[in-house]
Amino acid sequence: MIEAKREKIGRALLFDIDGTLADTDPLHREAFHRVFAPRGHVVDDERFKRELQGFSNVSIGERFLPDESPERRLAILDEKETIFRDLVAGQIVPLQGLMALLDRADSAGIPMVAVTNAPRLNAELLLSGLGITHRFKALVIGAELPHGKPHPLPYQEGLRFVGASAQASIAFEDSRTGIESATAAGIPTIGMRTTLSHADLVAAGAVASASAYDDPDLLARLAAAMTW
């Protein structure tokens, strides 16, 4: 985990990466399908949403590769991540309105943190591809902690790095496990509708959902919460 300067600010914006900053979930689904199909697991959209989206590779390995050793599971999932990075290269596009929102948060002096279950190589590739690595005070990797999402620890760590309070902050997530993690940490969470529906996101605990970062209702909610 990257050590970061702790800010004396009570508010923060915390972002998941895949499916939240960029719509990469279809490429993850394809990479999982390429690795798991020869092993008898067809990965369609519904199975991806239900059993793969937002989960850590450790838990995915336990579910899909129960007969393999932990070392072999790791190797198979590393293969999946390599396929994903090959697929996503040159195709990293920010969700609509993201850059303007990051500009606004920077101007208001509100720190931002990236919180993900993705491997560090993936997270750094996506942030770099979007040209926004410098925007974030910290990058929290679930696999580098004792517990990843849906445990609250990744988001608790994100808050700790910038000295922010949960209730004064807002998280952005696109998966059930991510929303469960952020809300368990006490952070009001906006669900981004890149893969799941509004009903699915709210059922997981999101206080609202949006399809893009320039959604008027989202911007009004942020203006009220962040007082910018």
- The reply to whether 18 belongs to the active site is yes
Which of these is catalytic: 16, 23, 25, 174?
A: 16
Within a 10 A sphere around the Cβ of 96, how many other Cβ atoms? 13
Q: Which residues are catalytic?
A: 16, 18
